[in-house]
Amino acid sequence: MPSEFEIIERYFNWPSPGAVLGVGDDAALVRAGPGMDLAVATDMLVAGRHFPRDTDPARLGHKALAVNLSDLAAMGAHPRWALLALALPEADEAWLRAFAQGLAALARAHGVDLVGGDTTHGPLNVCVTVMGEVPDGAALRRDGAKAGDDVWVSGTLGDAALALADLQQQVRLAPQEAAAVLPRLETPTPRVALGMALRGIAHAAIDVSDGLAADLGHVLKRSGVAATIELARLPLSDALRARLADERAAGWILGGGDDYELCFTAPAGVREVIEDLGRDVGVPVTRIGRVDAGAGLTVLDGDGRPLRLAKAGFDHFG
């Protein structure tokens, strides 16, 4: 059995060219560029709560970082550094190797250095902290939406919820449908380039981690505005579109978690700019509604009637 120090040395002591000092001292040293704010976020994944205990370790390593990068993307920040706090029930080296590889591959793809963390014995728990840079005053915040803005969303919605329903045998997806939506649940793609490209263009942004209705609701509340979105305009995968007649479909689309898409608002004058930058970064962006004066979210169904939102997103204590 490797010791705690051998685990760190073998699996988590990577080169960190972007830091002043990486793993190995009492604290890492990082330096933000001149005129940059440091955007800092942390997200914890608990076995049995956020993922099954037997989840593929490489995919778990990816997801633990991806959900954090998604938070930085939603701020328009450029990810630079990460910390990893890990509680492990046992020192399973095959598991650790795969987990570290999954984490490292995504970190490398984004030029993120793992600069430190903590390793302890306990029920499986993965907590990643990320830091990124954003020019002073340019962060995309939740409180900037204005009446008259369009509401946009990236990618497609509800695929992770549909994949989870399939894993839990609540639906039966065809193999090619499962192959399309399972990666959305297990190895989500943080929309980092899109978030950075939206600096100076979007008025407000959030990443969709608890379902569109809940997350857009946070933006509206923080901004002191209302919005109306149309169910028929929401971007959907073929697998989800094929299940629109299912009474659970609206729940997957509006209330399913784990989409990790960006929802943002922007003035109508920049519609073409946004469509162009979506093409530039290779992420489809769809205009789904409008911000108005007032409070609360209205979702219109296919006939233009307001939908009753039974369960607006996932709340761990709800």
Sole residue written with tokens 């630079």: 80
- As a whole number of angstroms, the distance between CA 44 and CA 65 comes to 10
Give SS3 for 120. Answer: strand
Helical axes 175-186 vs 159-167, angle rounded to 10°: 110
Q: Counting contacts by CB under 6 A, is residue 145 touching ligand ADP?
A: no
Q: Counting contacts by CB under 5 A, is residue 118 touching Mg ion?
A: yes
Q: Is the dihedral of CA 74, 76, 78, 81 positive or negative?
A: negative
Please name the residue ranges forming H helices in 124-237: 159-167, 175-186, 192-197, 212-223
- Compare residues 93 and 292 and give the one whose CB is closer to ligand ADP: 93
Q: Which distant-in-sequence residues (6+ apart) come within 8 Å of 121 by Cβ?
A: 87, 88, 89
- Compare residues 17 and 175 and give the one whose CB is closer to ligand ADP: 17
- As a whole number of angstroms, the distance between CA 262 and CA 152 comes to 8
Identify what 143 binds: Mg ion, ligand ADP, none; CB under 5 to 8 Å per kind. Answer: none
- Compare residues 91 and 109 and give the one whose CB is closer to ligand ADP: 91
Cα 207 from chain centre: 5
Q: How far is the CB of 308 from ligand ADP (least distance, A)?
A: 45
- Compare residues 24 and 200 and give the one whose CB is closer to ligand ADP: 24
Identify what 117 binds: ligand ADP, Mg ion, none; CB under 5 to 8 Å per kind. Answer: ligand ADP
- Compare residues 10 and 305 and give the one whose CB is closer to Mg ion: 10
Q: How far is the CB of 25 from ligand ADP (least distance, A)?
A: 5
Q: Which of residues 168-227 bind ligand ADP (CB under 6 A)?
A: none
Q: Which of residues 82-141 bind ligand ADP (CB under 6 A)?
A: 84, 86, 114, 116-119
Q: Which stretch binds Mg ion (CB under 5 A): 35-43, 46-54, 115-123, 215-223?
A: 115-123
Q: How far is the CB of 78 from ligand ADP (least distance, A)?
A: 21
3-state DSSP: the chain helix, strand, coil percent, rounded to 5?
35, 25, 40
Q: Which stretch binds Mg ion (CB under 5 A): 42-50, 110-118, 155-163, 284-292?
A: 110-118
Which residues are 228's β-sheet partners?
290, 298
Give SS3 for 294. Answer: coil
Q: Which distant-in-sequence residues (6+ apart) come within 8 Å of 187 by Cβ?
A: 59, 62, 63, 66
Q: Which of residues 14-33 bind ligand ADP (CB under 6 A)?
A: 23-26
Identify what 2 binds: ligand ADP, Mg ion, none; CB under 5 to 8 Å per kind. Answer: none
Task: Measure Cα distances from 228 to 6, 49, 77 in Å.
Answer: 54, 32, 28
Sole residue written with tokens 């970082």: 65
Q: Count residues binding ligand ADP (CB under 6 A).
A: 13
- Compare residues 75 and 115 and give the one whose CB is closer to ligand ADP: 115
User: How far apart, in Å, do the first and last CA atoms of the chain sit?
Assistant: 41
- Compare residues 8 and 139 and give the one whose CB is closer to Mg ion: 8
Q: How far is the CB of 42 from Mg ion (least distance, A)?
A: 16
Q: Counting contacts by CB under 5 A, is residue 136 touching Mg ion?
A: no
Residues that bind ligand ADP (CB under 6 A): 8, 12, 23-26, 84, 86, 114, 116-119
Residues that bind Mg ion (CB under 5 A): 118
